[in-house]
Amino acid sequence: MSKKAKLLINNQEFDFPLVLGSENEISIDVKQLRSITGGVTTIDPGFKNTASCESKITYLDGEKGILRYRGYAIEDLANNASFLEVAYLLIYGNLPTEDQYKKFNDDIKSESIVDEDIKKILEAFPKSAHPMGILSSLTSALTAFNPTSNTIDYNRSKAELYETIVKVLGKIPVLIAWTIRKKNGLPLDYGDTSLGYVENILKMMFKKPNETYVQNPILVNALNKLLILHADHEQNCSTSTVRIVGSSHAGLFASISAGISALWGPLHGGANQAVLEMLESINDDGGDTNKYMQKAKDKEDPFRLMGFGHRVYKSFDPRAKIIKVATDEVLDDLGVVDPVLDIAKGLEKEALSDKYFVDRSLYPNVDFYSGIIYRAMGIPSDMFTVMFALGRLPGWIAQWREMRLRNEPIGRPRQVYTGENHRKYTPISNR
């Protein structure tokens, strides 16, 4: 196969090298495009056809429904690994040995406290504040309490980079647990670091004063799986945000804070909250799923079936397959009877056999099911995206670290200007 792409612009031919991925993906390297063509650019809104970087972290084949972290199938990891093992794998490239795992775990535990002044900032938020706004602000505020994490030269100081990474994984779960505790009117206590990472998060979120918190292994298993399934997803909107913010050499906390804001939107991580709100409003409106199927297909109607469709998965979302099984386990174990779940099942059944949805490859995505599990666990719907953020931390860290260690240039796209040509200022009295 030729290792070149040819481009013909106004009868002039230009050659561009091809970049080959390890799974034989082909990309046209246009790094020299502007310089050799005298300023020609490519335009690709939404980056639907643009690889923004080379990466060794996650492989995804949307047509075949394949997702692998560092070469390991998502099914294998979700069914067998712990979330922290997967975090280590994503960040450092290989599964940890027992010693590496113990050290990583211990270092994260020793960072599982935040400055007491963070409580004052949290207390200052009004009741109406959305937890994603709170989390993004508190994550940014952590920079103030850990100033070196924003200024170190990561290429020179691998030790400081490691320290910042374990701080993120130790401190952000505390912020998340406190956000939910404040919502539920519970005191802002620390967890119990003698527990596993996932068990500790559950206890930190839910333990009531003067009560012994009893772990439910089915919930622990489901949350461990959910966090693994969300841990990375190559160059999605929030990860691209983290990489681009970090490309200006902003620190890890600041970059992750920006990633949290990007994740918030309903077309990305906010979909899990939007799914539940949609199901509730269908229920309140009498539960007629067919009416909402018609609305979703009507091009005059802005309504979309939340939790269906994906930018890259065009056959099925492999994460949805795994989490559907865990959802059934959790619902059976907790004996949940909920009319909203019947609506979810009804919509899923109708959409899977509806020509509009089948023709456009619109299948339930991971967020269709994750919201259902979180609701059953007793997590308020505006906290669902916060749980997604918790899972995505290792991916954001791994991608940020890769970008910095590869010394990538600052992200700065071009544009095609379609506005007014040069015009002269006229004084206001003459307009």
Active site residues: 310, 367
| Closer by beta carbon to ligand CMC, 89 or else 296 | 296
Q: Does 318 bind ligand CMC (CB under 6 A)?
A: no
Q: Which long-range contacts (CB under 8 A, 24 or more apart) does 125-133 make?
A: 125/182, 130/264, 130/382, 131/179, 131/180, 131/183, 131/382, 131/383, 131/385, 131/386, 132/260, 132/261, 132/263, 132/264, 132/270, 132/382, 132/385, 132/386, 132/389, 133/264
Q: Which of 251, 259, 309, 391 binds ligand CMC (CB under 6 A)?
A: 309
| Among 229, 271, 344, 379, interactor with ligand CMC by CB under 6 A | 271
CB of 256 to ligand CMC, least distance (A): 16
Instruction: Taking the CA atoms of 134, 140, 144 and 145 in sequence, report the sign of the dihedral they define.
Output: positive
Phi, psi (degrees; rounded to nearest 5) at 60: -135, 130
Three-state SS at 307: coil
Residue 49 and residue 138: Cα distance in Å, rounded? 35
The residue (of 191 and 259) whose beta carbon lies closer to ligand CMC is 259
Question: Could you tell me the CA-to-CA distances from 338 to 237, 276, 316, 334, 371 in Å, in that order?
Answer: 33, 12, 26, 11, 13
Edge-to-edge order in the sheet of strand 12-20: 4-9, 12-20, 26-28
> Half-sphere exposure of 329 toward its Cβ, with a 13 Å CA cutoff?
15
Number of residues in contact with ligand CMC under rule CB under 6 A:
20
Residue nearest ligand CMC (C-beta atom): 309
Give dist(CA 224, CA 246) in Å, integer: 28
**Residues 371 to 400 in contact with ligand CMC, rule: CB under 6 A:** none
Nearer to ligand CMC, 219 or 278 (CB): 278
- Among the candidate windows 194-202, 285-293, 309-317, 395-403, which touches ligand CMC by CB under 6 A? 309-317
**Is 293 a residue that touches ligand CMC (CB under 6 A)?**
no
Q: Does 307 contact ligand CMC by CB under 6 A?
A: yes
Stretch that binds ligand CMC, among 72-80, 301-309, 333-341, 376-384 (CB under 6 A): 301-309
Binding map of ligand CMC across residues 327-366, x = CB under 6 A, - = no contact: ---------------------------------x-x--xx
Question: What phi, psi does 347 have (nearest 5°)?
Answer: -65, -45
Nearer to ligand CMC, 276 or 376 (CB): 276
Q: Is 11 exposed, middle or buried (0-12, 13-18, 19+ CB in 10 A)?
A: exposed
User: Is 253 among the residues that bind ligand CMC (CB under 6 A)?
Assistant: no
Q: How far is the CB of 248 from ligand CMC (least distance, A)?
A: 24
CA angle in degrees (0–180, nearest 5) for 27-32-36: 130
Q: Rule CB under 6 A: is residue 267 a binding residue for ligand CMC? A: yes
Does position 268 interact with ligand CMC (CB under 6 A)? The reply is yes
Print the binding letters for residues 211-250 with ligand CMC: x by CB under 6 A, - otherwise: ----------------------x--x--------------
Rank residues 252 and 320 by Cβ distance to ligand CMC and give the closer one: 320
Q: Verify binding: residue 170, ligand CMC, rule CB under 6 A.
A: no
User: Whole-number minimum distance, CB 307 to ligand CMC, in Å?
Assistant: 5
For position 304 contacting ligand CMC by CB under 6 A, the verdict is yes
Work out whether 33 is an interface residue with ligand CMC (CB under 6 A).
no
**DSSP secondary structure of 376-427:** HHT--GGGHHHHHHHHHHHHHHHHHHHHHHTTPPPP-------S--------
The 3-state secondary structure of 39-65, one letter per residue: CCCCCCHHHCCCCCCCCCCEEEECCCC
Q: Work out which of 103, 130, 183, 311 binds ligand CMC, going by CB under 6 A.
A: 311
For the bound state, the minimum distance from the C-beta of residue 178 to ligand CMC, rounded and expressed in Å, comes to: 25
Name the minimum Å distance from CB 294 to ligand CMC.
11
Three-state DSSP at 72 gives strand
Pick from 85, 348, 367, 382: which binds ligand CMC (CB under 6 A)?
A: 367
Of 326 and 362, CB closest to ligand CMC: 362
Single out the segment in contact with ligand CMC by CB under 6 A; choices: 29-37, 108-116, 300-308, 334-342: 300-308
Give 317-367 as a DSSP string: -HHHHHHHHHHHHHHHHHT---HHHHHHHHHHHHHHT-HHHHHTT--B-HH
The site for ligand CMC (CB under 6 A) is made up of 233, 236, 267-269, 271, 296, 304-311, 360, 362, 365-367
